[in-house]
Amino acid sequence: MRAQREALVIWDCGATNTTVSLVGTNGRVFATASRPTTAERHEDGLIWPLDRFWENFCDLTRQLLDEHRCAVRAVNITTFGVCWGAISPDDRLVYPVISWKCTRTREQVRWAEQHLDLDLIFLQTGAPPFHFNTAFSLRWIRDHRPEVLKTAETFLMMPQLFVHRLTGERVAERTMATTTMLFDLHRKEWANDLFEAFEVPNKFPQEVGSPGEVVGTVTAQAAEATGIPQGTPVCAGGHDTVVATAGACRDLRSDPLFSTGTWSLLVRTHDQYQVRLEDRRRNMPWQLNPHAEGVLGGYNNQGHMIGGLAFDLVRKLFLPEASAAEATEVAAKVPPGSHGVYINPTFVAGTGPNPEAPSALVGWEDGLPPETAVRAVLESLAYQTRDCLEYMQGEVSSILIGGGFAKNRLFAQILADVTGRRVELAGIPEVTTLGAAVLAMVGAGIVSDVQEAWKAIAMPTETFTPNPQAMEVYEPLYRRHRRLIEALGSGI
């Protein structure tokens, strides 16, 4: 009888899709299934329906394991940051998970601006004061649903809510902790002084582990629900952006990863925490890397911007019948510069490297082909990426694109032409899924270290170099972008 194929089960709860993947120990994703991720309207605002997400994960996992007989070596989980849940002593979710898409917490931002020094908090935590941060949602619960804080025994971040359902364990880990605006990056521990400043209790597990660390095993109840064998090791899980650094299959201390999805983040590793107030003004967070030391140790600094959300919004407005691939194909026929059309894609207010500048469409004329707008938004995303490169510390010679845009050859060439840097597309686009698998392989003892996993994976890439003629076109257009950003930011 032929031996069963070994696999890792990776759960990825993103803002667009909830996805289950089976990843071989060679790093190749050989099966995947998804369902849409949708926030729901609750009486208090937008929430993530955790029970439905759990059901989706269970259904999709059973489906894949039925179709692909394999020996599951470990499970790992990755999600967006900041979102958390309150767990009662009898393991109930006390209150729905507040979605990062919800704007109810803007009042808590205004309170913090009046009563706290947000510059000092940023220097301590590396987290810009986005309205959706954990600190603000905790403060909102304190102000409007104080009984939740009294009833809860433990707070868990989003990946660890699923770990809890799989294993019964209550854990915290470093990459999610550093999205809360309540974690001290200097001391690498919870900032209890900030919990006191926000007047909320700290009920997170105090020991903070790594996203690949095995923290428990699948229980009998979870095995029945998911089809994953009882006793299978389960890792702590982590923040998708940081987990993706393990999937880049290279050291990011020299050149960054551009991890693209609903949000796009330019991520670079540093050995030291070199935070500056300029990083706050440019919405460039700092976080801990997955491991305490080694190639995935240290810190990462991120250029933070809307990516796939902006592309999809413009595509659906201007080419509603076209798929992403079809829209990109026709946009490639539009000349560089998009006939003078410019889009500033700040579609979540206050985010991106130019938070003072609101979204804008400039230069549109009647009769232009609709694909002009699609190319214009890709060019604008490249301009924003160049902005982030200008603000980042250290020289950059190349950029690796992972995630959804790793399949977009037009964007890769535009980015090379706008930035003047070599651009590589990851041949395994699912760098977040791959990163979760790499961390699980190390944590479960399948490989001895990260480098062994990377060597086995041998990430293929496709390289794009700057086109001198296109660079001549884009240089004055980038200067125009900077003038427009300054004008928009000044309130004109």
410-450 confidence digits (pLDDT tens)? 999 999 999 999 999 999 999 999 999 999 999 999 999 99
User: What pLDDT, on a 0 to 100 scale, did the predictor assign at position 256?
Assistant: 97
Q: What is the pLDDT of residues 57-66, one digit of tens each?
A: 999 999 999 9
Question: Beta strand 238-239 with 257-260: parallel, antiparallel or unpaired?
Answer: unpaired
CA nearest neighbour of 174 among 80, 287, 265: 287
d(CA 274, CA 126): 10
Q: What is the pLDDT of residues 81-137, one digit of tens each?
A: 999 999 999 999 999 999 999 999 999 999 999 999 999 999 999 999 999 999 999
Percent of the chain's residues with pLDDT above 70: 99
Residue indicated by tokens 């010679």: 397
d(CA 239, CA 439): 12
User: What pLDDT, on a 0 to 100 scale, did the predictor assign at position 1?
Assistant: 45
User: What pLDDT, on a 0 to 100 scale, did the predictor assign at position 350?
Assistant: 85
Return mean pLDDT, the chain.
96
User: What pLDDT, on a 0 to 100 scale, did the predictor assign at position 250?
Assistant: 96
Crossing angle (nearest 10°) for helices 240-247 and 431-443: 80
Q: What is the DSSP letter of 173?
A: E
SS3 459: coil
* Mean pLDDT, residues 253-279 taken together: 94
d(CA 332, CA 48): 37
User: What pLDDT, on a 0 to 100 scale, did the predictor assign at position 2?
Assistant: 56
User: What pLDDT, on a 0 to 100 scale, did the predictor assign at position 3?
Assistant: 64
Buried b (16+ CB within 10 A) or exposed e, 145-162: eeeebeebebbbbbbbbb
Q: What is the pLDDT of residues 320-369, one digit of tens each?
A: 999 999 999 999 999 999 999 999 998 888 888 999 999 999 999 999 99
Beta bridge partners of 257: 267, 400
| Helix or strand holding residue 197 (H, E) | helix 192-197
Q: What is the DSSP letter of 469?
A: H
User: What pLDDT, on a 0 to 100 scale, did the predictor assign at position 396?
Assistant: 92
d(CA 144, CA 44): 9
d(CA 311, CA 373): 10
Band (393; pLDDT cuts 50, 70, 90): confident
User: What pLDDT, on a 0 to 100 scale, did the predictor assign at position 262?
Assistant: 85
Percent of the chain's residues with pLDDT above 90: 93
d(CA 319, CA 384): 23
* Mean pLDDT, residues 19-48 taken together: 96
User: What pLDDT, on a 0 to 100 scale, did the predictor assign at position 298?
Assistant: 97
Buried b (16+ CB within 10 A) or exposed e, 17-43: bbbbbbbbbebebebbbebebebeebe
d(CA 284, CA 391): 9
- 229 vs 489, higher pLDDT: 229
Instruction: Give me the domains of the chain, ranges plus CATH numbers.
Output: 5-236 (3.30.420.40), 250-427+460-492 (3.30.420.40)
* Mean pLDDT, residues 391-420 taken together: 95
d(CA 423, CA 399): 5
Q: What is the pLDDT of residues 148-189, one digit of tens each?
A: 999 999 999 999 999 999 999 999 999 999 999 999 999 999
